[in-house]
Amino acid sequence: MTGPGLVQLAGSDRGTLDDAQLAGPVDPAEQIELTLVTRRAANLPRTAAGVPVRLSREELRQAYGSARADQDLVARVLTGLDPAIEVTGADPGSRRMTLAGPAGTLARAFGTELTLATTRGPGRSLVTHRYRSGSLQIPAELEGILIAVLGLDSRPQAVPHFILAAPEAVQISYTPPEVASIYQFPAGADGTGQTIGIIELGGGFAQSDLNTYFSGLGLATPSVTAVGVDGATNVPDQDPQGADAEVLLDIEMVGSVGPGAAQLVYFAPNTDQGFVDAVTTAVQAQPTPAAVSISWGGPESSWTAQSMTALDEAIADGVALGVTVTVAAGDNGSSDGVSDGQPHVDFPASSPHALGCGGTSLQADPTTGAISSETVWNDGATGGATGGGVSAVFALPAWQASAGVPDAPAGGTGRGVPDVAGNADPNTGYQVLVDGQQTVIGGTSAVAPLWAALASCLTQALGTRLGLMQTALYAGIEPATPVAGLRDITVGNNGAYAAGPGWDACSGLGVPIGSALLARLAAAGTSATSVPPQGEPSAAP
């Protein structure tokens, strides 16, 4: 119900959680801070295929951020509701504001009620958090200006997409450089001069683990810098089976495949607010990264529409800057872990601005690089399988329209996931070091940093950032037809979808043939991917 002068905030409806156990009231005096996302001053310019046109960071922030007048109005209206409400930050360039105040006051200001609830978080651990259901309300004069209000509900939003291998089930395992060699990553390119952002929503790393791991591979330890977002920090929990495994898998994968690249590891709370703030901060960092790797996500049905819009637009900003955002497609097959018997895809892998990364099972000789077989990763209901399918939220992009994406489960068309793939089966997994313990890990969590490292190597070799790499990968594609630069995976399934020639909803377009992919991108030229010098205007391609 909306009150006088109030309207519902579009896309803010929160469903109830079936497993939520109410744990008492929220302390109304508890000080909390929200992230508000405001509308763009102008829509991002796009090509005929709907791809954001390349911009400098200054162009993006000045012309396609928020109008300062919009944020001033938001501040004036919301602080006028109660003297306890305070605007603690405003950044028109990234379209974000932070709003602080007592939890009870902020809940009333947005027409909702907050309680405490206990639910299962990543690793099935119990997490107590703020909880709401239903829609938010905003003053009518802010309708269309406020796009998202994040942080009232602090439920865990995402899970990391890694799986620890059972030692007795491991058939073969590889170091990340061995897999890069098998996939023929370009010789002479190691990411030097590039930056890679990594998003983490929990866990941490110790420098001693990095020194030991890279020394064991005969590599210098790369530059790895932890960046705190929304109060989160690099805090290793010393649980080799917990979030530390995700963090160290990502860092060790990137650092051994693209050892010349500097890494910025963004630690944020595992909430929709933390996720949006981390990605926004990462893609708009200076210098602009070649890639940002995301190995966390959740079924589209677990997100509010406002959160998905905010995160998709943050990734789109990255594309406009030339950033390739690689995202794990999930480890629960075509159901994505939803128990309704229907196919689902994982977000943010389903964002049309992200490079969705699926998983395979790779049998190869790490000494010679000879591949004996590579199939879709599917170890069954208890062992995990690659995510993939058709989005119920995002429309079929123009650049994917001729790939042969099937109809969405509810009918009509939608964005197909994944775009590409790589080795992800924990039974053919990666040798990593986590909290001092040697272990083997798989999951599509490994594929996102693998492709992020490849993007940094390609960027170094080409002298230009790649942005939405899919526009080149899907160029000229026809259904059931392999594409140059990628090796087609045609055997296996992830439940509802089977692999076959050309694009499929298990392995996308296939796994990389790095040297051939470099040659294809070089032959395509750089007119659609050129990056203007920072601060100088660009021309639309």
Greater confidence (132 vs 381) lies with: 132
pLDDT at 204 over 70: yes
Smallest Cα–Cα separation from 455: which of 326, 343, 337, 350? 326
pLDDT at 199 over 50: yes
Cis-peptide, bond into residue 418, ω within 30° of zero: yes
Whether 465 and 323 have beta carbons less than 8 Å apart is answered as yes
Residue 538's pLDDT band, with cuts at 50, 70 and 90, is very low
The 10s digit of each residue's pLDDT in 251-305 is 999 999 999 999 999 999 999 999 999 999 999 999 999 999 999 999 999 999 9
Instruction: Quote the CA–CA distance of 142 and 372 in Å, as a whole number.
Output: 60
One-letter-per-residue 3-state SS of 446-503: HHHHHHHHHHHHHHHHHCCCCCCCHHHHCCCCCCCCCCCCEECCCCCECCCCECCCCC
Residue 32 is predicted with a pLDDT of: 98
DSSP codes joined into one string, 331-366: SBGGGTT-TTSS---EETTT-TTSEEEEEEEEEE-T
Smallest Cα–Cα separation from 452: which of 249, 223, 178, 250? 250
pLDDT at 535 over 70: no
Instruction: Quote the CA–CA distance of 158 and 227 in Å, as a whole number.
Output: 19
Q: Which residues pair with 14 in a beta bridge?
A: 134
Write out the H or E segment, with its range, that includes residue 164.
strand 163-164
Q: Parallel, antiparallel, or unpaired: how do β-strands 355-364 and 224-228 relate?
A: unpaired
Instruction: Quote the CA–CA distance of 365 and 181 in Å, as a whole number.
Output: 11
Whether 359 and 475 have beta carbons less than 8 Å apart is answered as no
Percentage with pLDDT > 70 across the chain: 96
Whether 269 and 230 have beta carbons less than 8 Å apart is answered as yes
Helices 305-321 and 272-283: angle between axes, nearest 10 degrees: 10
Annotated catalytic residues are: 246, 250, 445
Residues sharing a CB contact under 8 Å with residue 120, sequence separation 6 or more, in sequence order = 19, 126, 127
3-state helix, strand, coil in the chain (%, to 5): 25, 25, 50
- The amino acid occupying position 293 is S
Residue 341 is predicted with a pLDDT of: 94
- In this structure, the number of other CB atoms found within 10 A of the CB of residue 413 comes to 15
Residue 1 is predicted with a pLDDT of: 37
* Domains in the chain, CATH or no CATH each: 6-150 (no CATH), 159-524 (3.40.50.200)
The 10s digit of each residue's pLDDT in 388-428 is 999 999 999 999 999 999 999 999 999 999 999 999 999 99
The 10s digit of each residue's pLDDT in 130-182 is 999 999 999 999 999 999 999 999 999 999 999 999 999 999 999 999 999 99
The DSSP output letter for 521 is: H
Residue 52 is predicted with a pLDDT of: 98
Measured in whole angstroms, the distance separating CA 262 from the mean position of its chain's CA atoms is 19
- In this structure, the number of other CB atoms found within 10 A of the CB of residue 388 comes to 36
The values of phi and psi at residue 179, to 5°, are -65, -40
Residue 3 is predicted with a pLDDT of: 53
